[in-house]
Amino acid sequence: MSANSHAMSQLLWQGPMCVGWKRDLEGAVYHLANCLLLLGFMGGSGVYGCFYLFGFLGTGYVCCVMWGWFDACGLDIILWSFLLAMACLLQLAYLIYRLRSNTLPEEFEVLYKTLCLPLQVPLQVYKEIVHCCEEQILTLATEQTYAVEGETPINRLSLLLSGRVRVSQDGQFLHYIFPYQFMDSPEWESLQPSEEGVFQVTLTAETPCSYISWPRKSLHLLLTKERYISHLFSALLGYDISEKLYALNDKLFAKFGLCFDIRLPSLYHVLGPAASDTGPESEKDDEEAREPAIPTSAQQTPPRSPLPASASPPAPPSRARMSRPDSGLLGEDSTSLVLEDFEEVSGSESFMDYRSDGEYMR
């Protein structure tokens, strides 16, 4: 027992002494292998960092195999270096396979960077969304309709990738749909999963367009299954609908050319050129309003001498109702929305008596 412990202590603390040192240095392949190994161990993290790491390590171990074969002439050096080089090459092959499996078509790649990457949506979640639409890109020719008012059923949700789509109702232009906007978000939000309906507007492509489309049932199933995707679509659809509402608000004008907020109370609009609001009955009412009221007691009493003109109070001027302005004066087309007036409030005051909408709200 003591002899074994003595031998172990000699190996650990004293060690074998080198009989003689080689005077010649190792060949250039040995030094190149060590330089490549040094560069490989300086690699970073991530996918491209792993490419850097295993690329330099694999090349370095290949150089070690060549050094063991030509200079060192050691079988153990050749075997170990070969195994390590093969492990690095296999790891590189696995990384290439992962990258190819994660590759998306160019249109979906741009869509991810534009719409989902700013929201920090994981790539795996985005793949589930793309898989729901079967990775198909549909197209529309110029003046081809995506939906017809009162005819096309609401059975899908589409997102425009390129081009421009015109939205109209009863032949009147409403707004445009631009790339990376939903084409039918209001229709999607207006129905429950169990309900059915048709489009209330017509969507026509003004330029060659491309878009992706999710079937209604498949997307509802995905939203029910994945809570994160449901919240994501809720945020995207809400933002898209608000953009469409503000696009309509830009076409809303008052009589004096002022732009009003669509959220103001008692606001209504008229599409197209409007007819005059004054009629025979309104003119008759105005004439009656101009005549001074005669009390009944004045008919029973004898007439008195008329008062001087200076003493008689002047009759209050009647407020004639302003006619609706011609829609051609408010915009280039006849589809500009016109704010006619608001309902009369107490004290014969209306919205037009106030300087601003904030003053009216107060």
- The reported pLDDT for the residue numbered 261 is 57
- The reported pLDDT for the residue numbered 134 is 83
Strands 156-162 and 209-215: antiparallel
Alpha-helix residue ranges (DSSP H) falling in the chain:
2-9, 28-40, 46-67, 75-101, 106-111, 123-132, 185-190, 216-225, 227-249, 280-290, 297-300, 357-361
- The reported pLDDT for the residue numbered 295 is 43
Mean pLDDT, consecutive 10-residue stretches, the chain (362 aa), reads 62 63 81 91 85 92 91 88 94 88 83 91 91 89 93 93 93 91 91 88 94 93 93 93 83 57 50 42 47 43 46 47 41 39 40 44 46
- The reported pLDDT for the residue numbered 101 is 74
Tokens at 128, concatenated: 């589930």
Written as one letter, the residue type at 265 is: P
Tokens at 359, concatenated: 């003053």
* Separation between Cα atoms, residue 266 and residue 255, nearest integer Å: 16
Task: Write out pLDDT tens, residues 108-136.
Answer: 989 999 999 999 999 889 999 999 988 88
* Separation between Cα atoms, residue 55 and residue 43, nearest integer Å: 10
- The reported pLDDT for the residue numbered 264 is 54
Q: Which residues pair with 210 in a beta bridge?
A: 139, 162
| Residues 6+ positions from 55 with CB-CB distance below 8 Å | 40, 88, 92
Q: What distances in angstroms separate CA 60 from CA 44, 50, 108, 362, one per listed residue?
A: 17, 15, 39, 78
Task: Write out pLDDT tens, residues 296-316.
Answer: 444 444 445 444 444 444 554
- The reported pLDDT for the residue numbered 178 is 93
- The reported pLDDT for the residue numbered 270 is 41
- The reported pLDDT for the residue numbered 253 is 57
- CB contact at 8 A, 166 and 204: yes
Four-CA torsion 297, 303, 307, 309, nearest 10 degrees: 90
Give the closest residue to 154 by CA, choosing from 200, 206, 204: 200
- CB contact at 8 A, 338 and 327: yes
- The reported pLDDT for the residue numbered 63 is 93
- The reported pLDDT for the residue numbered 279 is 46
- The reported pLDDT for the residue numbered 343 is 40
